[in-house]
Amino acid sequence: MLRNVVIEKQGHLFVKNDQLMIRQNGSEVRVGSFEDIGWILLEHPQLTMTQAVMARAASKNTVVIFCGDQYFPISIATPTEGNYLQGERLRWQLESSIPRKKSLWKQLVQLKIENQARLLDLIGSDSESVMYLKTKVRSGDPDNVEAQAARRYWTLLFGFQFKRDRIGMVPNPWLNYGYAILRSCVVRMLTASGLHPGHGVHHANKYNSFALADDVMEPLRPWVDRIAWSLFHEQSFRSTEMNTYLKKELLEVLQHDVQQGTYIRPMAQAVQQLAYEIAMYLGNKIDKISPLKIISLETERETWDVHEME
């Protein structure tokens, strides 16, 4: 299992003997081997690093995430090459037919709606009206059933007064943070599978550098929603400020269980398999991607390593 590292305090990152190191208050501390690190989340505005850190991270397909105001992830650094078959798989991606891309989007939307309904089931809410809409999704989702399902889903999940908005009140900031972490995972795994995360099958905004990642993460969003729902029902957490507890809870989405076909995997591994299947699908090697399902509110917790020194 790849480790996920959060650097919360001021310091200087550098490479020594192929290890990621940090210098803080005159002391040098080993953070870990790049071989074992999947993500590095940089939170403090006065963190610095050598060019070797970024080069070594890229060579090991380690994603470096930079945070801005209120510790929100605002930038993702990924390698330009992530797979020895990248040239071939990029051709698959670019040459894939429009009907095939529309069929893939249909599958992703159906999986998203199903997982939304399953989450509603798990929290004891009515799910039938959402699950029913899964059957209405056509190739390419020209009727925008995804949005219809979302309107019903958010009301059933958080109540009639809730509005999903990137700048809205709680739990919107938690959802934004969790989605950003999930997006970084999808970007990493798509790159590792030889695909370009910017060439989408549905999302196509010219300003979006990670359109394919936004496509692929759609059926995975309910895992973040589940964490936000749990936090929302802890009455002491209604502030928009991201504290350490909230961040740790949301960061752990990458370790939550996913049923993928007949297997149960941590989210990060499930995304890796999904990215591979997306590549195979775009290359006409398989006819359908494996279903991904939320299975329980219980999960094995593999916490992120939060590195801090006084």
> pLDDT of 283-295, one tens digit each?
999 999 999 999 8
pLDDT exceeds 80 at position 305: no
CA distances to 75, 162, 262 from 197, in Å:
14, 31, 27
| pLDDT tens column, 247-271 | 889 989 998 999 999 999 999 999 9
> How far from chain centre, in Å, is Cα 155?
23
Neighbours of 251 (CB within 10 A): 20
Q: Torsions phi, psi of 144, nearest 5? A: 55, 50
- Give the pLDDT band of residue 73 (cuts 50, 70, 90): confident
Task: Tell me the pLDDT tens digit for each residue of 125-150.
Answer: 999 999 999 999 999 999 999 999 99
pLDDT value at residue 158: 94
218 — phi, psi (to 5°)?
-55, -50
Q: Give the model's pLDDT for residue 308.
A: 40
At 236, the pLDDT band (50, 70, 90 cuts) reads: low
C-alpha 220, offset from chain centre: 7
Express each pLDDT in 165-209 by its tens digit. 988 888 999 999 999 999 999 998 998 888 999 899 999 887 788
pTM of the model: 0.85
Four-residue CA torsion sign, 191, 144, 253, 272:
negative
Is residue 302 very low, low, confident or very high in pLDDT (cuts 50, 70, 90)? very low
Instruction: Give yes or no for residue 59 having a pLDDT over 70.
Output: yes
> Which stretch of 23-37, 48-62, 83-97, 120-134 has the lowest confidence by average pLDDT?
83-97
- SS3 annotation, the chain: CCEEEEECCCCEEEEECCEEEEEECCEEEEEEEHHHEEEEEECCCCCEECHHHHHHHHHCCCEEEEECHHHCEEEEECCCCCCCCHHHHHHHHHHCCHHHHHHHHHHHHHHHHHHHHHHHHHCCCCCHHHHHHHCCCCCCCCCCHHHHHHHHHHHHHHCCCCCCCCCCCCCHHHHHHHHHHHHHHHHHHHHHCCCCCCCCCCCCCCCCCCHHHHHHCHHHHHHHHHHHHHHHCCCCCCCCCCCHHHHHHHHHHHHCEEEECCEEEEHHHHHHHHHHHHHHHHCCCCCCCCCEECCCCCCCCCCCEEECCC
Tell me the pLDDT band of 80, cut-offs 50, 70 and 90: low
* Max Cα–Cα distance, the chain, nearest Å: 62
Q: What is the pLDDT of residues 81-122, one digit of tens each?
A: 655 577 888 899 999 999 999 999 999 999 999 999 999 999
What pLDDT does residue 240 have?
63
pLDDT at 306 exceeding the cut of 50: no
Q: What is the pLDDT of residue 238?
A: 61
